[in-house]
Chains A and B, each alone.
Chain A
């Protein structure tokens, strides 16, 4: 559509227009679309040493995906039970973390959104500050707390609730707490933004009509905040399913996160195509889940990121 382009350059000037167009194309095509396609392509190829890439052995194959389901060829088991279990456990755990975060964050988002005053600014600041601290350090902080001789165990044993220190890390409690902790802000802000724009008179009106508080939330606030809630849930789900730092630091020795498998394929096994295939599986599954949820709750993509 040269007409469209001509108008674009007329409006922005040749120099600014080309700069803008160039940057946008570099970002969308060069950084977003092509790398994803490239990874998709890569995931269908065998793992070859660099000289053989593009050679006769470099043909498309489903081997990498088969591996996730059936495990190594000639393996003792019919299915790749270990990796599949990690995969499903990751998804289920991410859903749990999302729900936990939603329950934890909805009240505070509502409180912040519907109250005004100086203390709200202070609360907002207190919310943001932890988010500025390094992800690794936040996980580290939780490890100090949940460690065998950590604050929590000292407290519990000291107060006589437990006789012996409880291993929070081995039982994955530290991991879930850490994942929830990491993405609190991403749940609060979208919900807060929506609830802030809800006219307080609506709530007053509902209360005036005699609705109890839970009904006000069910009939007035939650339907209104739905875009924010789904936006927050989407982000928290995607980020916790894709988290790597928290599982590495807080995960128990026996329990793996799916991203850790990808990491191992890349860094320990040097099997890039296999890692790419796993990454594709993770990406596609997450996107499908999110899209399905969006369909169920009838929200669109445009609401994300508000």
Chain B
């Protein structure tokens, strides 16, 4: 019995580690969106701030990227769901000898590295474009077109897999029954097959949109004039990260959780309706079915409501709460600390210089080196506080524009860092 207990405990420990690995990064990233330092981090926690969200919404490139992502996403959803559906239907009725080859072809894009897909799309359509004698600004070399085409190549395979799973449970006799009752092929497709496939089509569409939204490897070769959100994010992340990105991530996480919970609640609701229908009398069926307590017995719905209330609270407090005071306090504290340290440093330098001078004087050597260190330390003393200040106030750039400029130059000079005992925290560049 004790070994059983050990196994049980170790399973839970394993699950704990696993989900910590899986969810931890997202939670930490989300949390950094609310911390004031301009480098996204959780520790030390300085001030609760919502300014990074404002920063995010002022970023033209991000907003433009979101718009492009939505454009590409819609195009990809339409193209890849229809290709996936056609591919899935074809799979069910293709000549048996061809089936294995056909399946390999349509499943291959999942396994081909995204980079390769991007390149092949780019190269191929470039060639088509040249063969047709079109210029560099034609539709075929348009970033939007290329990105949709490139992404759809493999996203259609995902859609196909989702759709085929549902299609396997479809009874072809249903289509035949519709035809037999006088429907045209298009009517049979629209009135019988489509409603049956609808849940799978919706999941395929959601999957396609998400896959398109987060695709980087393929898009990075094809985006042209239409950088998607992912491309913009990658540029930002590669060349310096700010909590504004965390803010975006937090919103995406929140939205994802929100929709996941809605979905869960819906599934649960449908189950309950189906159960209620089973016991319903004829009279009840003719009228509306009362679902007994949508909220009760539906944990997902409860979680959803909690989430909505949470978001509402946060938004409300964001409207009223101002972190300026706290940020100013932290800055003040830091400034004092730094000044203290600089003072110590200066004292020590002065002492050293004095000792050195004394020693040199004693040896009767040249005195030309003496001014340099003092000069140097003076330089650092002037600029170092600004450097530190800059760290905490990127969000408040508008109020302290003048200081910012100075801080920027001080950063470049590098002197501030040399003497900055807090250099550890100053890696925002």
Contacts and interface: CB of A to CB of B under 8 A. Distances in A.
Interface of A: 1, 4, 8, 11-17, 19-21, 23-24, 26-28, 31-36, 38-39, 42, 50, 53-54, 104, 107-108, 111, 118, 121, 123, 125-130, 132-145, 147-151, 154, 158, 165, 181, 184, 213, 234-235, 238-239, 241-245, 248-249, 259, 262-263, 266, 272, 275-276, 279-280, 282-283, 286-287, 290, 301-302, 304-305
12 contacts: A23-B87, A27-B86, A38-B127, A39-B123, A107-B11, A132-B210, A136-B230, A137-B248, A144-B28, A149-B425, A151-B43, A241-B113
Nearest to B213: A134
Contacts of A154: 41-43
Contact of A118 (B43, B82, B103, B299): B299
Contacts of A126: 19, 22-23
Given A129-B260, A143-B241, A31 B153 contact: yes
Contacts of A276: 119-120, 123
Contacts of A104: 18, 21
- Nearest 4 Cβ contacts at the A-B interface: A242-B113, A13-B185, A141-B25, A23-B86
Given A26-B83, A129-B26, A184-B22, 4 more contacts: A108-B18, A132-B210, A134-B252, A181-B22
Contact of B427 (A121, A129, A148, A283): A148
A261 to B, nearest CB: 10
Interface string B3-22: 00001000100110011011
Contacts of A8: 93
Contacts of B90: 20-21, 24
Given A125-B264, A304-B107, A130 B26 contact: yes
B279 to A, nearest CB: 23
Contacts of B119: 39, 262, 266, 272, 275-276, 279
A53 B130 contact: yes
Interface stretch (B216-224, B315-323, B338-346): B216-224
Interface residues of B, number: 93
B19 to A, nearest CB: 6
B237 A133 contact: no
A156 B139 CA distance: 54
A235 B15 contact: no
A62 B220 CA distance: 27
A21 B82 CA distance: 12
A43 to B, nearest CB: 9
Q: State the majority secondary structure of interface residues on B.
A: helix
Contacts of B117: 35
B6 to A, nearest CB: 12
B111 A149 contact: no
Contacts of A133: 26, 214, 249, 252-253, 256
B32 interface: yes
Given A143-B241, A239-B113, A149 B39 contact: yes
A305 B100 CA distance: 14
Nearest to A213: B7
Interface of B: 7, 11, 14-15, 18-19, 21-26, 28-29, 32, 39-43, 82-83, 86-87, 89-90, 93, 95, 100, 102-117, 119-125, 127, 130, 149, 152-153, 156-157, 161, 184-186, 189, 210, 213-217, 220-221, 229-230, 233-234, 237-238, 241, 245-246, 248-249, 252-253, 256-257, 260, 264, 299, 424-425, 427
A39 B32 CA distance: 43
Nearest to B102: A28
Contacts of B210: 132
Nearest to A27: B83
A128 B210 CA distance: 12
A110 to B, nearest CB: 10
Contacts of B427: 147-149
A79 B237 CA distance: 34
B198 to A, nearest CB: 17
Given A154-B43, A305-B161, A245 B217 contact: yes
Nearest to A241: B113
B220 A20 contact: no
A132 B256 contact: yes
Nearest to B109: A32
Contact of A245 (B11, B216, B299): B216
A158 B424 CA distance: 14
A302 B102 CA distance: 11
A282 B119 CA distance: 12
| Interface core residue of A12, A136, A272 (most chain B CB under 10 Å) | A136
A149 B264 CA distance: 38
B89 A27 contact: no
Given A135-B214, A141-B28, A262-B119, A238 B86 contact: no
Contact of B11 (A11, A111, A127, A141): A111
A194 to B, nearest CB: 14
A301 B41 contact: no
Contacts of A140: 29, 233, 237, 241, 245-246, 249
B29 A137 contact: yes
Query: Which residue of A15, A118, A132, A184 has the most chain B CB atoms within 10 A of its CB atom?
Result: A132
A132 B260 CA distance: 10
A201 to B, nearest CB: 20
A259 B425 contact: no
Contacts of A135: 214-216, 230
B111 A234 contact: yes
Contacts of A33: 105
Nearest to B185: A13
Contact of B120 (A21, A35, A107, A248): A35
Given A35-B123, A126-B23, A181-B25, A235 B111 contact: yes
A39 B113 CA distance: 14
Nearest to B238: A248
A119 B94 CA distance: 41
A28 B116 CA distance: 16
Nearest to A140: B237
Given A36-B120, A111-B11, A16 B186 contact: yes
B106 A27 contact: yes
Nearest to B106: A28
